[in-house]
Amino acid sequence: MRISYRIGLSAIILCIVCVSSMWILNSSVSIKYLEDSIQDKTLLEVKLKAKDIDDWLSNEEHVLDMAIERVILAENYEYDTLLDILVDITDTYPSNSYYMAFEDKTFIDGSRWVPDKDYDPTAREWYVGARDNAGGIYMCDPYVDAMTGDIVLSISKQITLKDNR
């Protein structure tokens, strides 16, 4: 092999190695920058959504407290009286459902839904969580409602009525 051929081959190999090295370096730096940028943008979006959710939840807690106050201040705790209160609250805030359950498995729903006799509200996550949370607000994990296909988020709170239920 001639010397000029070897020098030319070495120059070509050196150019390929340099170009490849620069491409790899540039790609890794670009990818890292892109990942960081996407992560920062996602974090900002999550913070904005979290604030929206916090504001919404604070409002819902306020509405729930108002509903609880109306129930506690009721003149009597007969089924029909409590149903009327929950229907009125549900009509006032139609995007929500308001219902209550008692240890004896009595269930009162502001939408006037009457469950089957086998329905046990005391076994539901919202009931158990509220009971275990001792008067604090309990929030269930969101789920997709089987009948409507909507995402549902239940918040609940244990209360004690004047008749000790």
The pLDDT value given to residue 27 = 79
Is 19's pLDDT higher than 90? no
The pLDDT value given to residue 90 = 92
pLDDT per position as a tens digit, 114-125:
999 999 999 999
The pLDDT value given to residue 34 = 85
Bigger pLDDT: 75 vs 98: 98
CA distance 146 to 54: 26
Is 48's pLDDT higher than 70? yes
Phi, psi (rounded to 5 degrees) for 15:
-65, -45
**CA–CA distances in Å: residue 57 to residues 39, 51, 53, 64, 138:** 26, 10, 6, 10, 11
Is 1's pLDDT higher than 70? no
- Percentage of residues of the chain with pLDDT beyond 70: 99
| Average pLDDT across the chain, whole number | 89
Output the pTM of the full model. Answer: 0.69
pLDDT per position as a tens digit, 135-161:
788 999 998 988 789 888 899 999 988
